[in-house]
Amino acid sequence: MSRRPLRWVSALVVIALLVAGCGSPGNAADSDEIKIAVVGPMTGDAAQYGEDFTRGAQLAAEQINAADGVDGKKITIVTFDDRNDTTEAASVAQKIATDSSIVASMGHFTSSTVYAAMPIYKSNQLPLVVISASDPGITEQGNEWVFRVSPTNNLGAEAMADLIVSKLGLKKIAIFYLNTDFGKTERGFFTARVQANGGEIVLDEPYQPDTKDFSSSIIKLKNAGADAVYLSSYYNDAVLLIRQAKDAGVQTRWFTSAAVLSPQFTEIGGEAVEGVITNRISQGDSWDAVAEAYRAKYNDEPSPFVIYAYSAVQAVAEAAKNEGTSRQAIRDGLAKIQGLETALGPLTFDENRQAVYESFDYLEVRDGQFQLWQP
């Protein structure tokens, strides 16, 4: 007699779990908010990027909510810290996916963390919008739950190889790259394009994450006879490398991946990074408008990651408006976005759910700031 009710209860629990596991839109669709997870390094030495993500997403949410939200529903941002660690990224993704009130996620900073988290989004049927990780492979895996608004690193790296070798005529190139998914793939694209353009890689030097002492690599650079150096690095490594190389008397021209774009780069680098050239996707009027709002609110210069995060929220809002607020509806809505006006300019996802990019701006550090530069 006493066993029966228990059996009923367990059956109900199992059904409930199954329903939840299928990403039931149930309560989320009825809710009057659209809850988006922002996940990235909120602590540690990449925390600056996590803050950029959060601020960009918050700013978009505030502005959309001020204009009556998405058909009256408010957008809410919740942040999660994956500490830029692959193991942590997977477990945080799991945590986000099991919270049925969250209908979309955006972020994970590096390609390594995105790769670690991607399968979890797929199996839990939660859309993820990637806003920084740049390995092209991410959107070439047929994972229909993963979208990307930021550009792939082959684009920036190839544009840089064209600039250095073809436009500036610098043929002997040294490359330093962070020995991770991000650095290795970017190095691959850059090197292939340099060689295709008739340039020569005179030094090909990987370095480990958290390297602080670049002495031995710099000695190699000193003796490599390079006309130009390209860095596939984030800002902290790039700053250290350039400063230490200049301290060591190396004279060459410095070019870097777009990943260095951060106010910290010029702040820590000081006079050592003057003249360093990088590129980024071209920025239109809507970019400037968002940047202006950001400056007004935070009294700080926005990095591109702020704009990507902002645009990702815009894309999710558009998807929710057109298709509904369930996870499935948002995924379907995102897939259909064509020429949506966002902070990035017109946003279109290709068949791989990768945003389409065509033109680049070049930036030079001048007077302690990244400024537009014409080759």
Partner 1 sequence: MTLPVLIDQLVSGLAIGGVYALVALGFALIFGVLRAAQFAHGEVYMVVAFLVLAVLPWFPALGPLQFLLVIVTAAIFGAIAGMLIERGVFRPLADAPHIAPIISTIGLMILLQNLVAYLKGSELHRFALAWPQGNVSVGPASVPVLKLVIFGTALVIPALLQVALTRTQLGRAIRATAIDAETARLMGVNTARTSLVAFAIGSALAGIAGVLVGALYGVVYSTMGVTALVKGYAATIIGGVGNLVGAVAGGLLLGLFEVFVASYVSPRWTDAIVYTLLIVLLALRPQGLVGRAIPEKL
Residues at the interface with partner 1 (CB under 8 A): 43-45, 47-48, 179, 205-208, 211-213, 215-217, 219-220, 222-223, 236, 239-240, 243-244, 247-249, 264, 267-270, 272
Rounded Cα–Cα distance for residues 127 and 101 (Å): 13
DSSP string, 95-130: HHHH-TTEEEEEE-SSHHHHHHHHHHHHHHT--EEE
| Amino acid identity at 112 | S
Q: Which of 94, 78, 77, 81 is nearest to 47 (CA)?
A: 81
Q: With respect to partner 1, which residue has the nearer C-beta, 55 or 73?
A: 55
Q: With respect to partner 1, which residue has the nearer C-beta, 191 or 325?
A: 191
Strands (E), the chain: 33-40, 74-81, 102-107, 128-130, 146-148, 172-178, 200-207, 228-232, 253-256, 277-281, 340-342, 345-347, 360-366, 369-372
Cβ-based burial of 197 (10 A; exposed 0-12, middle 13-18, buried ≥19): middle
Q: How far is the CB of 38 from partner 1 (least distance, A)?
A: 19
Q: With respect to partner 1, which residue has the nearer C-beta, 243 or 253?
A: 243
Q: How far is the CB of 294 from partner 1 (least distance, A)?
A: 20
Q: How far is the CB of 211 from partner 1 (least distance, A)?
A: 7
Q: How far is the CB of 302 from partner 1 (least distance, A)?
A: 17
Q: With respect to partner 1, which residue has the nearer C-beta, 158 or 205?
A: 205
Q: How far is the CB of 175 from partner 1 (least distance, A)?
A: 14
Q: With respect to partner 1, which residue has the nearer C-beta, 44 or 284?
A: 44
Kindly report the backbone phi and psi dihedral angles of residue 236, in degrees, each rounded to the nearest multiple of 5, phi listed first.
-65, -40
Q: How far is the CB of 263 from partner 1 (least distance, A)?
A: 11
Q: How many CB atoms lie within 10 A of CB 301?
A: 15
Q: How far is the CB of 48 from partner 1 (least distance, A)?
A: 6
* Total residue count of the chain as it appears in this document: 375
Q: How far is the CB of 136 from partner 1 (least distance, A)?
A: 24
DSSP string, 12-79: HHHHHHHHHHTT--HHHHHSSEEEEEEEE--SSTTHHHHHHHHHHHHHHHHHHHHTTTBTTBEEEEEE
Q: With respect to partner 1, which residue has the nearer C-beta, 140 or 267?
A: 267
